[in-house]
């Protein structure tokens, strides 16, 4: 099996900022409750003229720019999402068309809820290994504002829209390890959208317990499988569901909190988009950059979990540093 390195990253933010106070005008909640229970202050919803597809396209274009490759060099596309408008075509196929990518490549969506992007990386690794391809475009994209029941205060305060994408390059050698799993269960359900109002249902307490168990398990498994010391990991990019979940895990594992990137205060929980969005933001704005070693960890509906230990290519530059756009 090939290994993967991250060569390029991109993200797209939805245009409409929705603060906790905005939501407190719709349901019986408060900025105080939302921020102390979740760390979320605001989230982005798609504005007029935007949707999941436009966000996925923008993030993908930036990732390809960041990777400094031609889009015709992409050898597979995998999109983690639960927000597609169609059962078919997949979101990945829509993006393939919009970007004018080659036709002789595998293109598909992965539904692993909030673990979808990391599952997507592993699917892409398998595809590159079996086809002999070099570059994968892996996307995480959600438009959860379409799926939220805006009368349910238990869930409507948690989620947001967004997209992140990476160009991953297959490598014969190097540091790469992965762990994937699922428990099977109905703790998080999403129905619709259809003629009825769509609904995200969640047993928050059960999912919280699951998450604080799953994250340390993933990190430990990656450590054991790779033989790496956690002190040699430059940053941890976890699914941005809730700041309290991450703080709990950091305390439990006695890790340095500054190594855990957090941006749920600004974007809320964007499901499959949260890890690639946080990754791109981290690489653009913080020290961790070319040559760094990261752990990415996701958990969510299914109940799924996923982690990868992955290197950022020595050739990495963010899209802004490259300039231009494909
Ligand atoms: O991406 C998928 C992964 N999802 C997650 O990781 C979510 C994991 N779970 C959580 O993050 C937390 O469980 C929540 C943030 C969803 C909820 O926090 P909690 O501390 O577990 O609260 P709770 O569900 O036990 O509710 C406590 C109280 C209840 O009132 P009573 O029964 O004690 O009177 C709720 O009705 O808070 C009430 N409540 C609210 N109050 C104000 C629930 N939602 C709200 C709200 N505003 N938005």
Ligand 1 neighbourhood includes 153 CB (under 6 angstroms): yes
* Strand ranges in the chain using DSSP code E only, listed in sequence order: 3-13, 16-19, 42-45, 74-80, 107-110, 135-143, 161-171, 176-182, 188-191, 199-202, 235-238, 293-300, 304-312
Q: Residue with the nearest Cα to atom 16 of ligand 1?
A: 204
> 65 in helix, strand or coil?
helix
Q: Hey, which residues does 78 pair with through a beta bridge?
A: 108, 138
24-47 pLDDT, tens digit per residue, is 999 999 999 999 999 999 999 999
pLDDT over 90 (residue 150): yes
> Looking at 239, 242, 249, 263, which residue is catalytic?
239
pLDDT at 79 over 80: yes
Average pLDDT over residues 216-229: 97
Nearest CA to ligand 1 atom 41: 29
- Per-residue pLDDT reduced to its tens digit, 88-142: 999 999 999 999 999 999 999 999 999 999 999 999 999 999 999 999 999 999 9
| Cα 39 to averaged position of ligand 1 atoms, centre (Å) | 12
Q: CA-CA distance, 159 to 271, in Å (whole number)?
A: 8
Give nearest CA residue, ligand 1 atom 12.
204
CB 99 within 8 A of CB 53: no
Quote the Cα angle for 92-305-131, to 5°: 45
Q: What is the pLDDT of residue 68?
A: 97
Question: How long a stretch of residues is the chain?
Answer: 326
**Residue 263 bears catalytic tag:** no
CA of 72 to the centre of ligand 1 (A): 46
pLDDT > 70 fraction of the chain, expressed in percent and rounded: 99
- Quick check: 259 pLDDT over 70? yes
What is the model's pLDDT at position 110? 98
Q: Is the CB of 37 under 6 A from ligand 1?
A: yes
Which residue range(s) make up the domain with 185? 1-326
Is 270 close to ligand 1, i.e. is its CB under 6 Å away? no
Give 287-304 pLDDT, tens digit per residue: 679 999 999 999 999 999
pLDDT at residue number 325: 66
CA–CA–CA angle 261, 301, 141 (5° rounding): 60
Q: pLDDT-based confidence at 324, cuts 50/70/90?
A: low
Counting the structural domains of the chain, the total is: 1
Q: What local confidence, expressed as pLDDT, does residue 58 receive?
A: 98
- The one catalytic residue in 46, 79, 93, 114 is 114
242 assigned to active site: no
Q: Which of 43, 157, 204 has most ligand 1 atoms within 8 Å of CB, for mutation?
A: 204
- 111 phi and psi angles, rounded to 5 deg: -105, 100
User: What mean pLDDT is predicted for residues 151-159?
Assistant: 96
Task: Check pocket membership of 300 for ligand 1, CB cut-off 6 A.
Answer: yes
Establish whether 239 is a catalytic residue.
yes
**CA 204 – ligand 1 centroid, Å:** 6
Is the pLDDT at 282 greater than 90, yes or no? yes
DSSP string across 259-321: GB---HHHH-B-GGGHHHHHHHHHHHHSS--TT-EEEEEEEETTTEEEEEEEEEPTT---HHH
The model scores a pTM over 0.85 = yes
CATH assignment at residue 251 = 3.40.47.10
Q: How far is the CA of 5 from the centre of ligand 1 (A)?
A: 37
The predicted structure's pLDDT at residue 284 = 93
CB of 17 sitting under 6 A from ligand 1 = no
Tell me the C-alpha distance between 290 and 134, whole Å: 19
Torsion of CA 278, 18, 41, 43, to 10 degrees: -20
Chain centroid to CA 87: how far?
21
């Amino acid at each position: 099996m090939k290994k993967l390195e991250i060569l390029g990253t991109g993200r797209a933010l939805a245009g409409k900022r929705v603060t906790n106070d905005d939501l407190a005008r719709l349901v019986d909640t408060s900025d105080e409750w939302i921020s102390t229970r979740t760390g979320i202050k605001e989230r982005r919803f798609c504005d007029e003229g935007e949707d999941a597809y436009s966000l996925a396209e923008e993030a993908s274009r930036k990732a390809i720019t960041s990777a400094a490759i031609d889009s015709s060099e992409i050898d597979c596309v995998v999109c983690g999402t639960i927000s597609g408008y169609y059962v078919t075509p997949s979101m990945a196929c829509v993006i393939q068309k919009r970007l004018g990518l080659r036709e002789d490549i595998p293109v598909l969506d992965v539904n692993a809820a909030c673990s979808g992007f990391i599952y997507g990386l592993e699917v892409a690794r398998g595809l590159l290994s079996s086809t002999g391809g070099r570059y994968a475009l892996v996307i995480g994209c959600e438009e959860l504002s379409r799926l939220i029941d805006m009368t349910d205060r238990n869930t409507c305060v948690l989620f947001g829209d967004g997209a992140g994408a990476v160009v991953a390059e297959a490598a014969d050698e190097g540091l790469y390890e992965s762990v994937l799993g699922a428990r099977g269960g109905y703790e998080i359900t999403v129905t619709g959208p259809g003629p009825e109002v769509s609904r995200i249902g969640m047993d928050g307490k059960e999912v919280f317990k699951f998450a604080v168990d799953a994250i340390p398990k993933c990190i430990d498994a990656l450590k054991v499988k790779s033989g790496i010391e956690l002190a040699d990991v430059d940053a941890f990019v976890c699914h941005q569901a809730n700041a309290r979940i991450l703080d709990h895990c950091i305390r439990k594992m006695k890790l340095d909190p500054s190594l855990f990137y957090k941006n749920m205060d600004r974007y809320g929980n964007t499901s499959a988009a949260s890890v690639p969005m946080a990754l791109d933001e981290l690489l653009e704005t913080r020290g961790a950059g070319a040559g760094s070693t990261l752990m990415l960890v996701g958990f969510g509906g299914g109940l799924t979990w996923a982690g990868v230990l992955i290197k950022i290519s020595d050739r990495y530059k963010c899209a802004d540093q490259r300039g231009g756009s494909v």
